[in-house]
Structure 1
C-alpha cells in the first residue's frame, strides 16, 4: 500500500491529483510523510486544501487493528534446530535482521544457507519463496550454493535451486535506493502470483557502500545518516507491506580502550555502544553507528575464536574445510580439525540474548551443542517443530579462552586432587614439624 500510486486513488479529485503531480508526489508513502505546510508549498495550494487532501487520504487508509492472537508469524528455519532456538524460532518475516562480523566469520555462509532454505516447503521449515540477493562488491558464489544443496539433508535440486535466487550488483548508494524503491517492488509484484513469491531480501554487505577516502566531516556524517535513514525506511516498508524477511550483512570496526571519563555526567557513544554494538568480550563493534543500530530489529555477531575442534570422520566427512585445508579419505589425522567460531545475539526483539559456538561445514553453519545453554533455549522456542541435526561432540562454551587451555587447567587440578587423596605424607612427619610462633 505504501507504494500505491496517487494517480490511482479513486477518492482524490482530478484537481487534487493535478496539484500532487505538480508537487512531484507520486506514491502514498511520499504523501503521508509531508506536513500540511510543506505540502502547500510544494503543490502551490492553500494550507486548507493541503489539509483536506491529507485528511481524505488518512480517512481512506486507516490501519486495521488486530489482536496478537490473529497475527500469523512466518518463520524460515536456518536448517539447524539450535540456531533456530537462538533466533527465537527462526528467521521471521517483517523484520530487518543484521549479521555483522569479521572477514571469514561466516556471514555470507549464513546468507547463502538461508537463501536456499527459504525455498523449501513450510512442512520442512521453509516459506516456499524466492530470494532477491543484492551484492555490493562481490559476485554471488553460485558454486558454494550448489555445494550446500548437495550437502544439506533438507535440500535437494527438486525443491530449491539457483533459478529462484534473483541477484543484482549494486556499487553505489543511489543505485541501491533505486533498486529498493523501484526494481525490487516490481520484482515482488511480478512474482506475487507465482508458486514462489519473494520472501527474503539479502544485502551483502551494506557498509561497503559507505567506504570513502574523503575526510570525515560534519557534512559527510549528515549525508551518511540521511542515506542510512532512507535505505532503512524503504526496507521496513518492503518488509511490512510484502511480509518479507530482510537480512543485511555488515562489517566491524575496531574499538580502542579510552581511559578518559566524561565529567559532564552524560554517556558518550563509546559508553553506550557496548550495549548494542558488540559483546562484552569483543574489541570490535558493528559499523554504521547509532543511526543504523536504531533501524535493526535483531543484531547477531559472528566472530573468529582461533580455537579448533577435532571431529570424528562421520561429521567432518574428510571434506575440504572452510579454512582451505585439503582433506580426503587418505588425509592425515591433523586435517580433521575445524575452526570454531562464535555466534552472539547482541539484541533481538523476538529472541533471547545468548552466545553459541558453531562451525562451517559443507552444509553450512552448524551449532556445537552445549546442554547448559541450549536446553533452556529449546524449551522456550516458539518454533512449531525442531529439525533434527546430527549429534556433535560436546563443546566447551568457555569464551574467549582457548579450549585446550581450559582442558589443561582441568587436568592440572585433577592431578593435585589425586596427590592429596593419596596422603603420602605420614602422621609422624606432620608431628615432627616445628612451627615458628614468634610472630
Structure 2
C-alpha cells in the first residue's frame, strides 16, 4: 500500500494529482510521512486543501489486519559487519528497514566501518551478507577505492569472487538540494533499475558520508537559519525512512561530533531537566575517560530521526597485542597501503572505543576496537594485553597483595599501557621496596651516639 503511486489513485482529482506532482510527492508513503502543513508548503497549496488530500488518502488506505503468514516475506534482514563481537554489540548486525548513525571524531574509523559494510552487503546470505549492492553518497570526500580493495584482500571472510567495486555505486552531493534530489529521484530510480535487472545485485545499503558537512555555515546563527536547518533535517530523514521502509534498505549515516563545554547548570523549573542534562542520554557516551567530552552533531532534531546511534571515539590508549590480532591474513609488502594504527617503534596498537548510545534493537554497550588492514575489529575480553617487561603492574592476580588498593590497570578497561603509565607518573605511588623501608625506619628511630661517628672517621 505504501508504495502505491498517487497518480494511479482514482479518488484523487486531476487538480490534486497535479499539485502532488508539482511537490514531488509520488507515493502514498511519501504523503503519509509528512504533515499536512509541510505538504501544503511543498505543493504550494492551501493548508485546507492539503488536509483534504491527506484525509482522503488516509480514509481510502486504512490498514488491514493480516496474519503472520502473510507478512513473513516483509521481515527485516540482517547484514554482518564481518566481526562477531561487533555484530553482537549491534544486536546481530546491521538491520534493514532502519536508519543507523555512526558519529565520531575524524580518524575514529567511521569511514572504515562504512566501507566494510559496503563489502559485506554483497556477500551471500549464507555467509552473513544480503547478496546486494551498496550506494555510497559522499559529501566532500572521494570514495577511497584503494582502501576498499585492501579490505577485500585482507579480510579472511572476503574475496574478489564475493565482492568488489562493481557493486558499490557512488555519487557526490555537495549541497542539501542535490542530496534531496538524489534521495527523492535518482536513488529510487537506481533501486528500481537494479531490482529489474537479473544480472545485477539489488541495492540493500545506502551510506551518507558525512551528513553534518552539509550544515556547516559561516553565516550568523538566527532563529530563521535554525528553522530552515530543522526543516531540511526533517525532510532528509523523511526521505531516508521512506527508502528504508519501501525498499527494505539499511541506511547508514555518518555524522560528526562537537566538543562539550561546561558552562554550569542551566536554570530550569521544578522537575524540569535542562538540555545539557538530557543530551548525555542521547548525544554522547561516557564509558571511558574523555569519551563524554564529545557529542553528536545536528542536535536534538536529528537525534529524533534515527533508530540507532553509535559513537566512535579516539581514546589515545595503546595496547601491546599479539601480531595475529593486528595483522591480516595476507600482509602487504609493497607499502602501498600500510596497516594503520601500529607504531613502528614499540609495536603498541591504538585502541578506539565504540559505544551504542541508543538503539531500538540492542541495549547500550561499549567495546574496544582497532582498525587494521582488514577493517574494524573488536577486542574480545579474553584477549589479554601483553604488558612491557618493566611494567610496575603484577603479571598475575595472585602476585598482587590482597590488602593493596586497586591498581590503575583495574581502573582502565582494557589495560591501557600509555594512559596507565601517564597516570602512574602523575600519582603518588608507594614504590619503596620493603627492605629500604626497614632501613629508613631504622635511621629514623634508632638514636646512635655522636661518639660512634667520630670514632669511625
TM-score w.r.t. the length of structure 2 is 0.76
Counterpart contact for 2:319–2:416, Cα < 8 Å: no
Counterpart contact for 1:300–1:345, Cα < 8 Å: yes
Counterpart contact for 1:152–1:363, Cα < 8 Å: yes
Q: For 1:351, which of 352, 362, 383 is the aligned residue?
A: 362
- What residue in structure 1 maps to residue 404 of structure 2? none
1:80-114 C-alpha deviation (Å, 9 max, x unpaired): 00000000000111111100000000000000000
Q: Distance in 2 between matches of 1:251 and 1:53?
A: 36
For residues 44-83 of structure 1, what are the structure 2 equivalents within 5 Å? 51=52, 54-55=55-56, 58-60=59-61, 62=63, 65=66, 67=68, 70=72, 72-83=75-86
Structure with greater contact order relative to length (CA < 8 Å, sep ≥ 6): 1
Shift of the alpha carbon at 1:269? Answer: 1.5
Deviates more, 1:260-269 or 1:296-305: 260-269
- What residue in structure 1 maps to residue 402 of structure 2? none
- What SS does the aligned partner of 2:362 have? coil
Q: For 1:279, which of 282, 285, 304 is the aligned residue?
A: 285
Counterpart contact for 2:283–2:296, Cα < 8 Å: yes
Counterpart contact for 2:16–2:53, Cα < 8 Å: no
Q: For 2:226, which of 218, 221, 231 is the aligned residue?
A: 221
2:282 is the alignment partner of 1:259 = no
Q: Distance in 2 between matches of 1:210 and 1:46?
A: 33
- What residue in structure 2 maps to residue 315 of structure 1? 325
Q: Distance in 2 between matches of 1:124 and 1:278?
A: 33
2:15 is the alignment partner of 1:12 = no
Q: For 1:159, which of 155, 159, 162 is the aligned residue?
A: 162
Give unpaired runs (5+ residues) of structure 2. 333-337, 388-408, 440-445, 447-457
Q: For 1:338, which of 345, 349, 354 is the aligned residue?
A: 349
Task: Mark the CA change 1:133 to 1:64 in structure 2 (over 3 Å): closer, same or farther.
Answer: farther
Counterpart contact for 1:105–1:302, Cα < 8 Å: yes
Counterpart contact for 1:312–1:336, Cα < 8 Å: no
- What residue in structure 2 maps to residue 111 of structure 1? 114
Shift of the alpha carbon at 1:51? Answer: 4.8
Cα RMSD (Å): 3.9
Q: Distance in 2 between matches of 1:142 and 1:235?
A: 25
Q: Distance in 2 between matches of 1:145 and 1:46?
A: 52
- What residue in structure 2 maps to residue 232 of structure 1? 237
Shift of the alpha carbon at 1:19? Answer: 3.7
- What residue in structure 2 maps to residue 21 of structure 1? 18
2:284 is the alignment partner of 1:270 = no
Shift of the alpha carbon at 1:315? Answer: 3.2
Give unpaired runs (5+ residues) of structure 1. 326-331, 372-390, 426-431, 433-439
Shift of the alpha carbon at 1:21? Answer: 1.3
Shift of the alpha carbon at 1:262? Answer: 1.1
TM-score w.r.t. the length of structure 1 is 0.79
Q: Distance in 2 between matches of 1:311 and 1:209?
A: 39
Q: For 2:184, which of 172, 181, 200 is the aligned residue?
A: 181
Counterpart contact for 2:102–2:254, Cα < 8 Å: yes
Counterpart contact for 2:321–2:386, Cα < 8 Å: no
Q: For 2:195, which of 188, 192, 195 is the aligned residue?
A: 192
- What residue in structure 2 maps to residue 248 of structure 1? 253
1:345-403 C-alpha deviation (Å, 9 max, x unpaired): 111111121111110000000011115xxxxxxxxxxxxxxxxxxx7858978259844
Q: Distance in 2 between matches of 1:256 and 1:45?
A: 42
